[in-house]
A and B are shown apart, each in its own frame.
With several copies, the nearest count.
Chain A
Amino acid sequence: MELQRDLCVDMLSQMYKIRFFEQTVDDLFARGLVHGTMHLSIGQEASAVGSISALRVEDYILSTHRGHGHCIAKGADIKLMMAEFMGKETGYCRGRGGSMHIADIEGRNLGANGVVGGGIPLAVGVGLSLKMQGRDEIVMGFFGDGAANQGSFHEALNMAAIWSLPVVYVCENNQYGMSMSTRRAFKIEKMAQRAASYGMPGVTVDGNDVVEVYEAASEAVERARAGEGPTLLECITYRWKGHSKSDQELYRTKDEIESWKNKEPIRRFLELLITQRVISEDEARKIEEEARRTIGEALEYARASPEPEVDTILEGVYA
């Protein structure tokens, strides 16, 4: 691919923002400033950014419990996202959702999901609706390798396929569903092989190479938009951090983690951009700083935001 400067700057910037957002919230948690749990996607930024960059703003996504990256890549206002993370009234979900349920309905992010595999059938419905309404948009549905063993995956992919829906399914295969390695959970090498069961194309890419992800996603998006039906895109990646806040990481080795750090997606992309002279080192530094500042401002905004009022507790259950 010829590297378009604007797109590349944008993708780099998003990857930085995701990284810094997650480092910041990780720190908040470590310091006891937030409760609950969270699922960090540090190390997986390329798959979120590469795939969502292939979408138009008016396209939809459905995200997962490990959804900060998708949310940012889809163009969320990070202030509102951070406020949601901190359970504030100004957050995207008025503090009701938290990390596992952030949704940016206006930005056409139909939400993270606490249920592994829970969003996969929703994407069928969104695709169906788009098709019935004769709209030009498509929907991208994310899920993990673990989710690919849920019954919902099977039912949904089949429905999307038989009805030729404008859906792109992106499996972020980070090698583990919690402590369960794909080696133990699957008897096949590539999850994307399962696409054949539904008569849809399946593609596996290096999920730490944002350009490769972008290219494969673009093809899938084009196919979906042209009415040629869904694609299953598998991005091979790795999460650096524990599964969630309760993880002792006894199921994998330090060596394994280190080996994946060598495939760090941001540095890889950065080096490519600089070698190919798409941007200069100086520009890169500015992008990084700008991203850092955005997160810093979001944190300030969230901190200064009010908590929900207790007497609003019953709101929002029914329309």
Chain B
Amino acid sequence: MREITYAEAIREALRQEMARDDSVFLIGEDVGTYGGAFGVSYGLIDEFGEERVRDTPISEAGIMGAATGAALIGMRPVAEIMFMDFTTIAMDQLVNQAAKLRFMFGGKAKVPLVLRTPAGSGTGAAAHHSQSFEAWFIHVPGLKVVMPSTPYDVKGLLLASIRDDNPVVFVEHKLLYKTRGPVPEEEYTIPLGVADVKRPGKDVTIVATSIMVPRALEAAEALAEEGIDAEVVDPRTLKPFDGETVVTSVMKTGKVLIVHEACKTGGVGAEIASRIMESEAFDYLEAPITRLAGLDIPVPYNRTLERHRVPQVENIVAAVKDLLV
């Protein structure tokens, strides 16, 4: 199968869905001619025009409100917040409006929109351009949260997210944009709420999200050389969360390491760990559930510090070994 990048897969999903459905449009800062800060929507303005690929002023709350209002009366906006750090400015519109309108109105309205936003560090952009806030959004009823790790997944999940009738926070990762993988040319959807076992194994389960999935796979290869057979599970969507796949894996391996980039305290690892503990897998646990996550510090600028802020392949390898002793 043809290989394309994660960024190209997103662009292809956007293009196909915009061609298929007139109600889909893009809105965000510099999404038009500039193509977005990471070039993801590059070229779409030429195909679909500036009405459907709409550049906005720097007004994140306005963008989120515009998307929400448009969704309320029949459009399917795909909004972009240029860095996940700036969802902080759009929180009221996202959390109080988009997420809650349906419930508050007794189920009589719907808000089908996608908020695409790149998270994560590793680009030397420091504390205001490197954050990962997915944990905030799983705490908000009414939102769905998707966090794809491969070109294949990002296309299928984005198409599913746009077609979903609810507000979806779609978390991309800057370092994944240039990663390549096989992606079918035709449209396909991956249902929200279905995890994927990226590598089967029997000795230990590694639950990893986003950029941590390729790192976990690399770690698993290194571990394999030492005779440790790790299973890597990618939840893909954090809300709804496919507890079953994770629990099944843990019941098989008896040990689990959860890996994410966001700060450890209050991160999604805590929720995933709790779900495992509350499941039938509890009795199968041979070791405490372990979390490996970002340090509880803002992302530093210095390249070496930045790298140490976030789990790397070697940290995953070491954490798995700690778990097995």
Contact = CB atoms under 8 A, between A and B. Distances in A.
Judge A-B direct contact (beta carbons within 8 Å). yes
A60 B73 contact: yes
B123 A36 contact: yes
B57 A185 contact: yes
B309 A115 contact: no
- Of B73, B75, B295, B309, most buried by chain A (CB within 10 Å of CB) is B73
A314 B109 contact: no
Contacts of B73: 60, 110, 126, 129-130
15 contacts: A36-B301, A37-B123, A96-B104, A105-B105, A113-B128, A114-B96, A114-B126, A122-B97, A126-B73, A129-B72, A130-B73, A180-B55, A250-B34, A308-B300, A317-B298
Given A35-B303, A96-B103, A100-B128, A125 B69 contact: yes
B301 A98 contact: yes
Interface in A98-151: 98-101, 103, 105, 110-111, 113-118, 120-130, 132-133, 146-147, 149-151
Interface of A: 34-37, 60, 62, 87-88, 91-101, 103, 105, 110-111, 113-118, 120-130, 132-133, 146-147, 149-152, 155-156, 158-159, 162, 177-180, 184-186, 246-248, 250-251, 307-308, 310, 313-319
Interface in B62-83: 62, 64-75, 77
8 nearest interchain CB pairs?
A125-B69, A121-B65, A114-B128, A36-B124, A98-B301, A316-B107, A155-B62, A94-B106
Given A115-B86, A125-B69, A251-B33, A150 B106 contact: no
Contact of B59 (A100, A127, A149): A149
A319 B93 contact: no
A36 B57 contact: no
A41 to B, nearest CB: 18
User: SS class of chain A's interface: helix, strand, loop or mixed?
Assistant: loop
A159 B66 CA distance: 9
A100 B126 contact: yes
Interface stretch (B24-32, B210-218, B248-256): B24-32
Nearest to B129: A114
Interface of B: 25, 29-30, 32-34, 37-39, 51-52, 55-62, 64-75, 77, 85-86, 89, 92-93, 96-97, 101-112, 123-129, 141-142, 144, 165-166, 295-298, 300-305, 308-309
Contacts of A36: 123-126, 301
B236 to A, nearest CB: 18
B106 A97 contact: yes
Given A37-B125, A133-B74, A319-B112, 5 more contacts: A35-B123, A36-B125, A110-B69, A114-B126, A125-B72
